[in-house]
Amino acid sequence: MRVLAALSGGVDSAVAAARAIEAGHDVVGVHMALSRNRDEFRSGSRGCCSIEDSNDARRAADKLGIPYYVWDLSDEFHDTVVQDFLDEYAAGRTPNPCVRCNEHIKFDTLLERATALGFDAVCTGHYARIELRNDGVRELHRAADPAKDQSYVLAVMGPAKLARSMFPLGTAPSKSHVRAEAAARGLGVSDKPDSYDICFVADGDTKGFLQRSLGERPGAIVDESGELVGEHQGAYAYTVGQRRGLGIGRPAADGAPRYVTGVDTARNVVTVGPETLLSVTTLTGEDVVWLAPDVPASAPVRCEAQVRAHGAPVPGTVVRADARVTVELDEPLRGVAAGQSLVVYDGSRVLGQATVGSRRV
């Protein structure tokens, strides 16, 4: 097959490309330039897709002996990922930009261009497994290494994109194994630190990024009874379940810590309360992407629900109907915010994904 390997400049994508070559595919490397700042460099292990990363990707392609190109996708990235991030926070929701990047950039724009150029598949360094059943259904599964599993952020891609994707690292036993493989192959990125946090917030200060982008909007912090307990500089900078950085001068009457229990950006009010108000047992998800055509649409199905990339899955029952899913959890889940990605699993298999709309006890 003709395979387009997305080279981020990190060790994972380089080894994934090497494995695709070893499997006999005709591989071409491409680096996606996502930053509008051409002079931007990484800050430690924060961020990705900088000039430094582009240079590392080029050196990896040279070592692998494959053609290499850089595609400027900075406008698409800003319009579909960065702007969505700002719009969601401005609406009082908590988005996951990695999910949006996978949806709109890596498995939409990139795959669309690859298909137009005659490539059969896109190869990335994500940790997830694709299993092909005897009946032709492709299943997305968790990676062999639970610590590196990225099926949560990939669930949004849908069946059509899954059919044209390759994840050679899905069976890797550990990240240390991948680094050792990179070193054995002579890839200079073998000891490069992982990127983390939000790539377009290179200094890690998400609150500061939101304030610079959305401006300060002073408002009230109130408790569950409506009593004023503090002030903020913008309700958009808070998320349900947050405890630190609230700036509340005095503790609750019982001395217990307070958490953000509600964010109303229309009224510019943040509500705080005890931890007990954070637990929910019912989740409703919108904009459903279903990856299991063999699973009935309306019948209740046992599942495990996950609402954070590295969060613990919670058992429950899912029902899918009218472009929505409703999950009844067996046990309460704490601190779920509207806008988060809800992924439902059957064991290691991803059944589907949706965006959290409402939640209740």
Active-site residues, by number, are: 101, 199
How far is CA 286 from each of CA 169, 175, 301, 323, 324, rounded to the nearest angstrom? 30, 34, 18, 7, 5
Q: Under 8 Å CB-to-CB from 41, ≥6 apart: which residues?
A: 50, 51, 52
Q: How many whole angstroms from its chain centre is CA 223?
A: 31
DSSP-assigned letter for residue 46: B
Contact 130, 167 (CB under 8 A): yes
The residue with tokens 């590196």 is 148
Question: What is d(CA 317, CA 312) in angstroms, rounded to the nearest whole number?
Answer: 16
Tell me, letter by letter, the H, E, C secondary structure of 333-349: EECCCCCCEEEEEECCE
Task: Tally Cβ neighbours within 10 Å of residue 131.
Answer: 12
Directed axis angle between helix 175-184 and helix 11-22, to 10°?
70
Residue ranges with strand state E in the chain: 2-6, 26-33, 68-72, 121-123, 129-132, 138-141, 165-166, 219-222, 228-232, 259-264, 269-273, 279-290, 301-306, 314-321, 324-334, 341-346, 349-360
How far is CA 97 from each of CA 78, 126, 166, 205, rounded to the nearest angstrom? 11, 16, 22, 15
